[in-house]
Amino acid sequence: MTDDKSRLFVLWTGPITAFVVFLLFAPVAVALLLPAIQSVRETRQRDRTAHNLRQLGLALANYQETRVTSSSNAPADALLPADRPMNEPASQP
What would the pLDDT profile of 26-48 be if each residue is shown by its tens digit?
899 889 999 999 999 999 999 99
Rg of the chain on CA atoms, in Å: 34
Of the two residues 4 and 38, the one the predictor is more confident about is: 38
pLDDT tens-digit map of 7-31: 655 556 677 788 888 888 889 988 9
Spans of all domains in the chain: 25-62
User: What is the mean predicted confidence (pLDDT) over 46-75?
Assistant: 82
Q: What pLDDT shows up at residue 79?
A: 55
Question: Mind spelling out the 3-state secondary structure of 10-71?
Answer: HHHHHHHHHHHHHHHHHHHHHHHHHHHHHHHHHHHHHHHHHHHHHHHHHHHHHHHHHHECCC
- Roughly how many angstroms between the first and final C-alpha of the chain, as a whole number? 100
